[in-house]
Amino acid sequence: MTLKYFKSEELLKRARKVTPLGAQTYSKSFRYFCEGISPSFIEKGEGCRVWDVDGNEFIDFICALGPVTVGYNNKQINEAIINQLNKGISFSQSTKVEVELAEKLNQIIPCAEMVRFVKNGSDATTSAIRLARAYTGRDIVALSGYHGMHDWSIGSTANNRGVPKPICDLTKTFNYNDITSLKKLFDEYKDKIAAVILEPIQGNGPEEGYLQAIREITSKNGAVLIFDEVVSGFRYALGGAAELYNVVPDMVAMGKGMGNGMPISVVAGKREIMELIEEGVFVSTTFGGETLSIVAALETIKILEKPNVYEGIWKLGNKMLNGLNNIISDKKVSDVVFTSGLAPHAGVQFEGKGSLDYLDINSIFQQRMIQEGIMSIGINNLNLSHSEKEIELYLNAAELALDDIQR
Ligand code: PLP
C-alpha cells in the first residue's frame, strides 16, 4: 500500500517554524516516526483506529502513548463529558464528581487512603516525592527510571542540562530487578533516603519476590515506597501493580490511562502522608478539580471494572506475543528482534547487527508496519477496542516487517 502524506508534510513544515520538533511531546514528534513515510498529524479516532489528515487509516497500537484504555471516541465517555460540559467545566469551589472519583479510587487502589487529582503523570510523581520528603524530613530519592519532566527526575538522567547540580545530586539510581543495587544505596545513604520510587512493572515485570523485598527494605529504613504507575495504572489491572502482585506501597502516582485520554492524574497514598497537604505541604493546581476529566475518569473506570475486561486484554496480548515469538523463530531473526513486556503492554524490541544499530532496525520495522496500516512503536498498548481481528492484522504486518529486516 503506498500512502501519501501531503497534508501532514505541509503541516509539519508550518509546525516546525513555531513549535520545537513540531509537536507538544517528544515521543509524538517526527523524530520517533519516519519523516515523510509516516503521518505526522491525526484528524480523528474511533475505537482502535485513527485517520490522519490525508485520510489514511491506521490501527493504533500506541494509544496516545498509553492514555487510551477504552478506545477513541467512546460514546459512553463522550456522553458523560458532554453532560458535564453543559453544566460547566471548572468552578470556584469543589464539585460532587470529585468526591465520587476520590471515593472510587479509594475503593480500587490498595494504598489510596486519600487522593489528590492533578493533570500530568509528572505532577503526580513530583507531588509524591515532595510529600515523602516532608514526611521523612530527608532529601535523597532513590529511583530506577523515568518519572516525568520535573527537575528532581530529569536531574537523574544523562540528559539533565538545565537542572542545577545540587538537585541532580539528590537523586541516586538503582537497577530494576536487582535488589543488591538498592541495598547498596541504603548502605551508603542510610538515614538520608526519603523515598524509593519505581515503576513496579518494567519490561517483563518484577522477578519473584522483588517487589516484596523492596517493600521490606523501605519499611526497615523508614523510607517511603512510591509506585510510579503512570504507565501501568489502569492498563494491567484496575488496582494497578499493588493488586496484581499483592505488594502495597505507601504512595502511588497514576495518570495516562485513567481518563481514556482526558488529562487527569492522581497522587494517592496513606492518610498520614497525604494529610500533610492539610498542614501546608504544597500540592495544588488550578485545574486539579476540572470536571470534564473527572467525569471521563469515572466513566472509564465504570467500563474497566466490568467482569472479564482485563482477562480479555491479557488474552489478546498473549496472542500477540505468541504470534510474534512464532514469527521471530520461523524467520530466524532472534539475533536482532525479541519480544518484551507483559501482555497488555508488550511487543518487539531490537538489537543492532553489523552496520545497522537497533534504531535502524526499528525504523525498517516501523516503516513497513505503517505501510501496512499499523501504527506501533515496538511496545504496544492494548485497549478494550482491540480485538482478535486487529491482532491478526498486526501479526500479518509484523511478518512482512520482519521479512524486510531479514533482507
Ligand atoms: N512516569 C512514567 C513511568 C512515565 O512513563 C511518564 C511519561 O511517559 C511520566 C511519569 C510522566 O507523565 P507525563 O508525561 O504525563 O507528565
pLDDT beyond 80 at 1: no
Atom of ligand 1 nearest to the CA of 232: 3
Task: State the pLDDT at residue 11.
Answer: 96
Q: How far is the CA of 147 from the centre of ligand 1 (A)?
A: 6
Distance (angstroms) between ligand 1 centre and the Cα of 252 equals 13
Kindly give the number of the ligand 1 atom that is closest to the alpha carbon of 148: 11
C-alpha cell at 65: 502513548
Q: Nearest CA to 314 among 363, 217, 383?
A: 383
pTM of the predicted model over 0.95: yes
Domains of the chain: 1-69 (3.90.1150.10), 75-304 (3.40.640.10), 307-375+387-407 (3.90.1150.10)
Pocket of ligand 1 (CB under 6 A): 120-122, 125, 146-149, 199, 228, 230-231, 255
User: pLDDT band at residue 81, thresholds of 50, 70 and 90?
Assistant: very high
Q: Which of 220, 135, 228 is nearest to 186 (CA)?
A: 220
Mutate to test the pocket of ligand 1, among 126, 147, 232 (most ligand atoms within 8 A of CB): 147
Q: Give kind and range of the element (H or E) at residue 126.
A: helix 121-136
pLDDT at 33: 82
Query: How close is the Cα of 122 to the center of ligand 1, in Å?
Result: 6
> pLDDT tens digit string along 106-163?
999 999 999 999 999 999 999 999 999 999 999 999 999 999 999 999 999 999 999 9
146 φ/ψ angles, rounded to the nearest 5 degrees: -85, 130
Atom 6 in ligand 1: residue holding the nearest Cα: 148
pLDDT at residue number 37: 86
Residue 265 clears pLDDT 80, i.e. is over it: yes
What DSSP letter does each residue of 55-96 carry, written as one string?
--EEEESSTTTTT-SS-BT-HHHHHHHHHHHTT-S--SS--H
Does pLDDT of 359 surpass 90? no
Q: Does residue 114 contact residue 311 with C-beta atoms inside 8 Å?
A: no
Query: What is the whole-number distance in angstroms between the Cα of residue 61 and the centre of ligand 1?
Result: 18
Q: What is the whole-number distance in angstroms between the Cα of residue 188 and the centre of ligand 1?
A: 28
**ipTM metric:** 0.99
Split at pLDDT 50, 70, 90, the class of 407 is: confident
Using the mean position of ligand 1's atoms as its centre, give its distance from the Cα of residue 187 in Å. Answer: 29
Strands 42-46 and 49-52: antiparallel
Residue among 32, 122, 126, 262 whose CB has most ligand 1 atoms within 8 A, to mutate? 122
